[in-house]
């Protein structure tokens, strides 16, 4: 982890596609700035030394190359192999350095693939009853495991999140556990309990800027980078739900 002495703000790297959404970049940058960090955008053409970062956010975007988890590539699906390789290397480095890592949407899937897991390439082929939903508004209800770090950060058992994905975690990677699902069973959150902060969420908290619970993901990431992770204690079973 980069030395923080004398730094005004920790530096958090955000991975993205070369031609990725600038809206997503600005939303993440704002969320991280409000959490007390400076963000640097990392792409296959705009690299940055991972060992100079204090934390890493693996962002959303194109699908992941299926050959990375032993499946055949669907020619109808847009992939970005250069970004895949960038993020696999970044996660290798982050693991060696002990950097806190947050995966968002594709980023959550990449954490799983990096640890040897696999993906459902089309959730609607597996979860036929799942609603077809693509919106930045919080319309999808999920349930969070009460003994998880994600639970302790959000402080709630159920909440509504946004949904822009058509793939999801299938076989779990090494050391990961599922900590959130939607009603249809689709995985919405994963984490590594043995790590100070390695969490993947299938939704986009960067777009939920007015939701203080969701912004807590960025605050906790930054606090962990600063060496001040919050005390983690499983919350009791009797908890509230958010509309």
Work out whether strand 187-191 and strand 38-42 pair parallel, antiparallel, or are unpaired.
unpaired
Task: Return the pLDDT at 75.
Answer: 66
Q: How far is CA 177 from CA 123, 163, 174, 200, 228, in A?
A: 19, 21, 9, 10, 24
CA distance 60 to 51: 22
CA distance 226 to 230: 11
* Residues designated catalytic: 105, 204, 206
What number is the average pLDDT over the span 200-205? 97
Task: Return the pLDDT at 159.
Answer: 96
Q: Give me the architecture of the 11-225 domain, per CATH.
A: 3-Layer(aba) Sandwich (3.40)
What number is the average pLDDT over the span 182-206? 95
What number is the average pLDDT over the span 75-104? 93
In this structure, of 16-20, 118-122, 135-139, 234-238, the range with the lowest mean pLDDT score is 234-238
- Nearest of 116, 121, 9 to residue 63 by alpha carbon: 121
In contact, 32 and 222? CB cutoff 8 Å: yes
Task: Return the pLDDT at 239.
Answer: 44
Task: Return the pLDDT at 78.
Answer: 81
DSSP state of 46: S
What number is the average pLDDT over the span 40-64? 96
Would you kindly state where each structural domain of the chain is located, as residue ranges? 11-225
Work out whether strand 101-104 and strand 119-120 pair parallel, antiparallel, or are unpaired.
unpaired
Task: Return the pLDDT at 31.
Answer: 98
Task: Return the pLDDT at 20.
Answer: 79
Mean pLDDT score across all residues of the chain: 90
Q: Is the pLDDT of residue 231 over 50?
A: yes
CA distance 89 to 18: 17
What number is the average pLDDT over the span 178-193? 96
Task: Return the pLDDT at 91.
Answer: 98
Q: How many CB atoms lie within 10 A of CB 28?
A: 25
CA distance 20 to 41: 11
Q: How many CB atoms lie within 10 A of CB 94?
A: 25
Task: Return the pLDDT at 238.
Answer: 39
pTM for this prediction: 0.91
What number is the average pLDDT over the span 37-66? 96
Written as one string, the DSSP assignment of 25-44 is: HHHHHHHHHHTT-EEEEE-S
Burial class (CB in 10 A: 0-12, 13-18, 19+), 192: buried
What number is the average pLDDT over the span 35-61? 96
Q: Is the pLDDT of residue 58 over 80?
A: yes
CA distance 170 to 155: 26
Q: Is the pLDDT of residue 128 over 90?
A: no
């Amino acid at each position: 982890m980069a030395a923080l002495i004398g730094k005004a703000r920790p530096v958090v790297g955000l991975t993205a596609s070369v031609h990725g959404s600038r809206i997503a970049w600005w939303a993440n940058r704002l969320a991280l700035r409000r959490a007390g960090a400076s963000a640097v955008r990392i792409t296959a053409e705009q690299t940055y030394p991972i060992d100079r970062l204090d934390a890493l956010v693996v962002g959303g975007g194109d699908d992941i190359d299926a050959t990375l988890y032993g499946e055949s590539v669907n020619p109808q699906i847009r992939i970005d192999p250069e970004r895949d390789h960038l993020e696999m290397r970044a996660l290798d480095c982050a693991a060696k350095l002990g950097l806190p890592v947050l995966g968002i949407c594709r980023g959550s899937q990449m954490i799983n693939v990096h640890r040897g897991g696999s993906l459902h390439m089309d959730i609607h082929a597996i979860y036929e009853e799942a609603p077809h939903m693509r919106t930045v508004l919080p319309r999808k209800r999920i349930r969070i495991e009460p003994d998880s770090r994600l639970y302790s950060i959000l402080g709630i058992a159920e909440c509504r999140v946004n949904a822009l994905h058509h793939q999801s975690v299938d076989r779990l990677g090494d050391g990961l556990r599922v900590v959130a699902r939607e009603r249809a069973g689709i995985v919405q959150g994963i984490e590594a309990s043995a790590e100070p902060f390695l969490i993947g969420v299938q939704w986009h908290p960067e777009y939920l800027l007015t939701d203080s619970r969701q912004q807590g993901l960025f605050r906790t990431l930054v606090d962990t980078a600063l060496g001040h992770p919050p005390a983690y204690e499983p919350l009791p079973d009797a908890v509230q739900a958010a509309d």
